[in-house]
Amino acid sequence: MINDTLVRDGGVLQATYSNGKSADISTNSSSVKFSSPNMSVPGTKNVTITYGGRSVNYSILVKERPIVLSKIEILNLPFKN
């Protein structure tokens, strides 16, 4: 949603090294960097995650906040028959 913070919790990267070994890296790791897409404007945004000098991209959709009913008032009482 517009003006939300990009969530990085719960993601896992798989890093594969030149020796063929791989490791799972939490997106919460301080060594994992995220780009900062403009979350104040709706639309598709590209996010870049960088780890160990390598980057990967994905897209997110920033949506307008839904319009919700905030209150109701009585303007006229119903007639009594």
* pLDDT tens, the chain, 81 aa long: 999 999 999 999 999 999 999 999 999 999 999 999 999 999 999 999 999 999 999 999 999 999 999 999 999 988 887
Residue 20: its pLDDT value, please? 97
Residue 37: its pLDDT value, please? 96
CA of 79: how far to CAs of 21, 72, 73, 74, 75, in Å?
A: 79, 19, 17, 13, 13
How far apart, in whole angstroms, are the C-alpha atoms of residue 81 and residue 75? 19
pTM: 0.78
Residue 44: its pLDDT value, please? 97
